[in-house]
Every structure is written in structure tokens, then in C-alpha cells.
Amino acid sequence: MPSFAVILPAAGKSSRFRDQNYKKPFIPLENRPVWLHAAEKFTNRQDVQQTFLVIAPEDREQLQDKLGANAAMLGIEIVDGGKERTDSIANALARVRPDIDFVAIHDAARPCLAGEWIDAVFAAAVKSGAAILAAPISGTLKRVANQVITETVSREGLWEAQTPQVFA
């Protein structure tokens, strides 16, 4: 069975989130933080051998105090994020064991993920070397210039990339 490491980025500033008192991955959902719901989708799988939660360094103390036991119990390794998302991912990639076959990156703020979707994207990655979860664009797309709609863009062939994104 191929082995997977999962990286859950949660180091962002959540600048588009309306409540600046919270970062999206840490808001409570059914009395537990969103990141924990997302993590459990992976930590209960036999093929996932490593799981990393990447957080902003300034969040480490709060996370350890409030939820460190949850992370430790699930075998989740906490990694400090970097200045940009790519730096955060690189910090976690540096900790992936050499015996791991695939790495999956899934946003820690996205807990609504069906096990069947994980199965499908993992299987596609095993078959082709890499895969992403994606959905066809369903909304109407408009091209705008100078605050004026100039065109309705065809959705044909357009997909919205989602996570997890998996690669060897």
C-alpha cells in the first residue's frame, strides 16, 4: 500500500475572513476547531503515515496550551509556517520521511471533505503520480474591465481546483 504524508496549512492571516478575532482553521465547529475536523479525515486512514499542521509561529503557544494534547494523540506534528504559503509548505516538506511515497496538501480550514473524495484523489495520484480534487465551475463567469462587464465567459472546460492536492 502506498504511504502518504498530509500537510494541513493553517499559518495564514485569514485576512478575507470577516471575524478578525479568529483565524479560519481555529474557529470552533461543534465545539472543536475546524483544523481538527479536517485533520481527522486523514489521521484515521491506514495509508496516511505522517500528518503535519503548519501554524504561524505566534499561534504555537496558544495551540499547545489548548489543543496540543489533541494533536499529540492523533500523531500530528506541529510545524512553524513561513512568511508565504510556499514557505510554510516547504517547512513541512522538509520533515516528510524519505519512506513516504506521496504528499497531500489540504487546507486546514476546509473540514467538509468526504472520505470517498480522498480515496479518489489518492488513487488517481497513485495511478498518475499527482492529482487534485476539483469541481466543474457552476456559476456564471463575467469578464470585467473598468467596472463594466465586457463578456460572459464560457464555463466549458473550466474546473475549480480544491484540496487535497497530491503528488509523489
What is the reported pTM? 0.85
Mean pLDDT of the chain: 87
Q: Given pLDDT bands bounded at 50, 70 and 90, which one contains residue 16? A: very low
- In tens, the pLDDT along 94-145 reads 999 999 999 999 998 898 899 999 999 999 999 999 999 999 999 999 999 9
Q: What pLDDT, on a 0 to 100 scale, did the predictor assign at position 14?
A: 47
Domain ranges across the chain: 4-134+161-167
The whole-number average pLDDT for the span 65-91 is: 82
d(C-alpha 101, C-alpha 61), whole Å: 32
Answer yes or no: is pLDDT of 19 > 60. no
Identify any residues that bridge with 50 across adjacent strands, giving them in sequence order.
5
Candidates 3.40.50.2020, 1.10.1020.10, 3.90.550.10, 3.40.190.10; CATH matching 4-134+161-167: 3.90.550.10
Q: Given pLDDT bands bounded at 50, 70 and 90, which one contains residue 21? A: low
Q: Could you write out the DSSP letters of every residue in 69-89?
A: HHHHHTTEEEEE--SSHHHHH
Least confident of 19-23, 45-49, 100-104: 19-23
